Amino acid sequence: MHRNYQPALAAIPHGVIKGLAHITGGGLVDNLPRVLPSACDAVIDTGAWKVPALFDLIQQGGGVNRSEMYQVFNMGIGMAVVVRAKEAAGLASSLKAKVIGRIESGSGVVRLAF
């Protein structure tokens, strides 16, 4: 099933979104860097949301390590919206979404915090 994010994204005021990544094949690790400046990393708190049970079955049944799961699958995150830190909590609340991480100085990669 494909979720349509357009209605929710259209309701966000102009200028609030700083980056937007549809998390498809390549998971968070490969998709999110596409919207990051080269001097910034996305630090993802993997405990910020409940990962759907299907991914636990895949991981256990296939003997896939946890880091690879976040690189191959979306782990329940279909869209990542990058906004200013001061706007994150309010926007997440209005969208019924979760704040799953933060942007820090770095080299344009995703760092997973387990």
Summarize pLDDT for 81-113 with one digit per residue, the tens.
999 999 999 999 999 999 999 999 999 999 999
- pLDDT of 38 over the 70 cut: yes
**Quick one: what percent of the chain has pLDDT higher than 70?**
99
Residue 1 is predicted with a pLDDT of 67
The answer, yes or no, to whether residue 5 has pLDDT greater than 90, is yes
Q: Is residue 40 packed enough to be buried (19+ CB in 10 Å), middle (13-18) or exposed (0-12)? A: middle
- What is the arithmetic mean of pLDDT over 58-70? 97
pLDDT value, residue 99: 98
Whether the CB-CB separation of 70 and 64 falls below 8 Å is answered with no
Assess whether pLDDT exceeds 70 at residue 32: yes
Nearest to 107 by CA among 28, 54, 33: 33
Rg (CA), the chain: 14
Q: H/E element holding 52?
A: none
CATH number of 17-113: 3.90.650.10
Listing DSSP states for 13-25 in one string gives: PTT--SEEEE--T
* pLDDT of res. 74: 96
Give residue limits of the domains in the chain.
17-113
Q: What is the pLDDT of residue 41?
A: 98
